[in-house]
Amino acid sequence: MNWIRRTYLYQLYHYQKKLFWIVVFFAAGTLFCTFRGNQSTPFWVWGMYSAPVPSHDTGSILLMFNQSGSVIPIYTNKGFKTRFYLHSPLIYFHSAQEIGKDPRKAFFETKLPSFYSTWIYPMEEKLFTTNFTPYGSWLKNYLGQMSQTAIDSVYITQYHYIFSSDKINITSIDTLYVF
Amino acid sequence: MSFNRQHTCLASIFYGFCFLIAVKSYFDYVLLHQLHTPVIWDGGVDLLTYLGLTSGVFKSITGNQWLCYSFDTALLILPLVLVFQPQRRLLAILNFSIWLVYFLIYNLYGTHQTHALTGLLLVHIPFLFYQKPSFHWLWNGVRYYTLWIMSSAAAWKIIRGTAFHPQQGKNIYLQNQTGAIIESGITPLQSFLLSNEWLLNISFPLGVILEGLFMVGFFTKRFDRLLAILLILLIAGFRLLADATFFELLILVLPLWYSERVSKTAAPA
C-alpha cells in the first residue's frame, strides 16, 4: 500500500486538510457535472465535438452585408473573439426568430416544466431575452466601432449550398433580416 | 533557484500573459466598453451566471459605460502591476475576481459557453498563495486538472463513439469552414484538405489518441515536458481543423513545463 502514500490526495490530506477538502469538493463537482453532461462554473465539462457532427454536404449559412452590398466578414474576421461576438449572437437571434422565443427559455420550459413554473417564471425577465428587437441597433453599433463609420443598414442573408467534388456550390440565396 | 525567485518568475510570466490577453481582447473589440450594452444573452445552465443575472450585477456593469471603462482599465492595469509586484495578494485576489466576472460576462453576451479563458482562471489560483506548501499543492492541482481536461476530452469522444465515426473530421471541418469559403473564396489549404478528406478524417481519431496520452501524467511526471509540447500542438490543431481558438489555454503549458522544478523548491520536506 506504499503507492497510496505517494498519491497527491494522500499527501495533501496529511499536510493541509482544509485545502484537501477544497480540492475534493472541486473534483467531486467536476465529476458530477461531467457525468451529468452539464457544466456550471467552475465545474467545466470538456466534451467539445464528442457528439456526432452531422454531414454538412448540404446546408445553409448566414452572411452579413452592408448597405453598399459589401460582405461584412464574420467567418474570416481576423479576430477570433470578434468572429465569436458577430456569429454567436446572430445564430442565437436567428434561432429565437424561428421558434418565437428565447431558445434558453424554451429549453428550460421543456426540460424542467414544473421547476420552471415555480422558480424560473417569476424571474424570467431577468434570466432570458424577452425583446429581440434592439438586436439590429446593437449590431450596427458594434460594427460601426470596427469600421469607424456609421453603419446605416445591415442585411442578413442565408446562403444554401451543396458540397460536392471538393467544391461548394450555392443553390439559393434569401435575405432574412434587414436592420 | 530559490522558491521566492521561482515564484516571482512564474508569476511574472503568468501576469504578463494575462496582460497580453487583455490587450488582444481590446483589438478584438470584446472588452466590456466595446460591447455597447449587449441586448441578447444566454447563460447556458451556469448557476454562477444566473446568480449574476438575478442579482443584476452583470447588467449594472454592462449598462453603465463608465463602469465598463473602469472594469476594462482594471483588466489591463492589474496584471501589469502584478508582473512587477506578484506578492501583492490583495491585488492578485482582485485581479482573479475581475477575470472571473469578465469570463462570465464574455460567455453570457457571446451566447455560448466557451472554455478558452478557463486556463487563465485556473492558473490564477496558485498565485493567490505565496507560502511554499500551498503554492506547491495548488500548482500540482492545476497540473492534474490540465491532465483531466485533455484525458476527459478523449474519454468523452471514445465513450460517445465519435472517435470511431469515419466522417467526423470532415464534418467538423466543413461545419467550420463553409462560412469562410462562401464569404471570401477557398484558400489553397482548404482546397487541399477538402480534396484529401482522409487527412481530415484521420486527424480526428489521431487527436483523440494524443489527448488520451495525457492520462500518463496521472502516474508519472517524467513526460510532463513532452505533454506540454503536445498541448501546444493540440491547441494549434484545434485552430487549424476545428476553427476553435484556445490560445488562452496555452497558459496551461506552465504547470506541466515547471512541474518538477516547483516540486523541488516548494514541496514540503
Residues B255 and B167 in one domain: yes
The minimum CA-CA distance between A136 and chain B, rounded to whole Å, is: 10
Q: What is the DSSP string of chain B?
A: --HHHHHHHHHHHHHHHHHHHHHHHHHTT-SGGGS-S------TT-HHHHHHHHHTHHHHHHT-HHHHHHHHHHHHHHHHHHHH-TT-HHHHHHHHHHHHHHHHHHHHHTTS---TTHHHHHHHGGGG--SHHHHHHHHHHHHHHHHHHHHHHHHHHHHTTGGG-TTHHHHHHHHHHHHHHHHH---HHHHHHHH-HHHHHHHHHHHHHHHHGGGGGGT-STTHHHHHHHHHHHHHHHHHHH----GGGGGGHHHHHTHHHHHHHHS--
A149 found inside a domain: yes
* Helix ranges (DSSP H) in chain A: 2-5, 8-15, 17-36, 80-99, 103-111, 113-115, 124-127, 135-147
Residues A91 and A8 in one domain: no
pLDDT band at A154 (very low <50, low <70, confident <90, very high): very high
Q: B220 CB near a chain A CB, below 8 Å?
A: no
Inter-chain contact B46–A42, Cβ cutoff 8 Å?
no
The region, left, alpha or beta by phi > 0 then psi within -120 to 50, assigned to residue A51 is beta
For residue B175, give every residue at least 6 positions away whose Cβ sits within 8 Å of its Cβ, in sequence order, or none: A53, A56
For the stretch B234-240, contacts whose Cβ atoms lie closer than 8 Å and that sit 24 or more positions apart, written own/partner, are B234/B150, B234/B207, B234/B210, B237/B203, B237/B207
Residues B5 and B71 in one domain: yes
Residues B221 and B88 in one domain: no
Question: What is chain A's percent helix, strand, coil content, to nearest 5?
Answer: 50, 20, 30
Look up the domain containing A114 and give its range: 58-178
Q: A69 CB near a chain B CB, below 8 Å?
A: no
Residues A26 and A74 in one domain: no
Residues B117 and B214 in one domain: no
Residues B107 and B165 in one domain: no
Residues A21 and A96 in one domain: no
CA gap A20, B139 in Å, rounded? 14
Q: What is the model's pLDDT at position B3?
A: 76
Crossing angle of the two packed helices A8-15 and B132-159, in degrees rounded to 10 = 150
For residue A28, give every residue at least 6 positions away whose Cβ sits within 8 Å of its Cβ, in sequence order, or none: none
Per-residue pLDDT tens over the stretch A101-139: 999 999 998 988 888 888 888 888 899 999 999 999 999
CA gap A57, A162 in Å, rounded? 6
- Sheet with A167-178, strands from edge to edge, namely A71-72, A58-66, A154-164, A167-178
Domain count, chain B: 2
A47 found inside a domain: no
Domain count, chain A: 2
A87 found inside a domain: yes
Distance of CA B227 to the CA centre of its chain: 16
CB B31 within 8 A of CB B70: no
Average pLDDT on A135-159 reads: 90
* Residue A47: strand, helix, or coil: coil
Residues A77 and A28 in one domain: no
Residues 116-155 of B with CB under 8 A from A: 118, 121, 133-134, 137-138, 140-141, 144, 148-150, 152-153
CA gap B136, B266 in Å, rounded? 5
Maximum distance among all alpha carbons in chain B?
A: 61
Q: What is the model's pLDDT at position B269?
A: 63
Read off the C-alpha cell for A148: 469607424
Q: What is the model's pLDDT at position A78?
A: 84
For residue A63, give every residue at least 6 positions away whose Cβ sits within 8 Å of its Cβ, in sequence order, or none: A71, A74, A156, A157, A158, A159, B179, B182, B183
Residues B126 and B142 in one domain: no
Residues A29 and A63 in one domain: no
Q: What is the DSSP letter of A52?
A: P
Residues of chain B in contact with residue A102, where contact means CB-CB under 8 angstroms, are 42
Give the residue carrying C-alpha cell 517524467.
B222
Residues A20 and A69 in one domain: no
* Residue A15: closest CA among B137, B186, B73: B137
* Final residue belonging to a domain, choices B130, B159, B194: B130
For residue B81, give every residue at least 6 positions away whose Cβ sits within 8 Å of its Cβ, in sequence order, or none: B88, B91
CA gap A129, A108 in Å, rounded? 13
A53 found inside a domain: no
Element (H, E) at A43: none
Residues B140 and B267 in one domain: yes
Instruction: Say how many C-beta atoms besides its own lie within 10 A of residue A134's C-beta.
Output: 14
Q: What is the model's pLDDT at position B4?
A: 80
Inter-chain contact B54–A61, Cβ cutoff 8 Å?
no
Q: A158 CB near a chain B CB, below 8 Å?
A: no
From B115, which residue of chain A is nearest by alpha-carbon distance?
A44
Q: A42 CB near a chain B CB, below 8 Å?
A: yes
Per-residue pLDDT tens over the stretch A19-73: 999 999 999 999 999 998 889 999 999 988 999 999 888 999 999 998 888 899 9
Residues B217 and B245 in one domain: yes
A127 found inside a domain: yes
Inter-chain contact B179–A75, Cβ cutoff 8 Å?
yes
Q: What is the model's pLDDT at position A91?
A: 95
CA gap B95, B125 in Å, rounded? 11
Q: What is the model's pLDDT at position B26?
A: 95
Look up the domain containing B46 and give its range: 1-130
Q: What is the model's pLDDT at position A5?
A: 84
Residues B95 and B167 in one domain: no
CB A153 within 8 A of CB A178: yes
Residues A18 and A87 in one domain: no
Amino acid at A4: I
What ipTM did this prediction achieve? 0.92
Residues A64 and A27 in one domain: no
Q: What is the model's pLDDT at position A172?
A: 93
CA gap A155, A14 in Å, rounded? 63
Q: What is the pLDDT along chain B (269 residues), one digit of tens a residue?
A: 787 888 888 999 999 999 999 999 999 999 999 998 999 999 999 999 999 999 999 999 999 999 999 999 999 999 999 999 988 999 999 999 999 999 999 999 999 998 889 999 999 999 998 777 888 899 999 999 999 999 999 999 999 999 999 999 999 999 999 999 999 889 999 999 999 999 999 999 999 999 999 999 999 999 999 999 999 999 999 988 887 888 899 999 999 999 888 777 766 76
Residues A76 and A162 in one domain: yes
Residues of chain A in contact with residue B44, where contact means CB-CB under 8 angstroms, are 39, 104
* Residue A144: strand, helix, or coil: helix
Residues A94 and A138 in one domain: yes
The minimum CA-CA distance between A131 and chain B, rounded to whole Å, is: 8
Q: B54 CB near a chain A CB, below 8 Å?
A: yes
* Final residue belonging to a domain, choices B100, B130, B160: B130
Residues B126 and B195 in one domain: no
Residues A115 and A153 in one domain: yes
* Final residue belonging to a domain, choices B96, B113, B130: B130
Torsions phi, psi for A172 (to 5 deg)? -160, 160
Residues A125 and A164 in one domain: yes
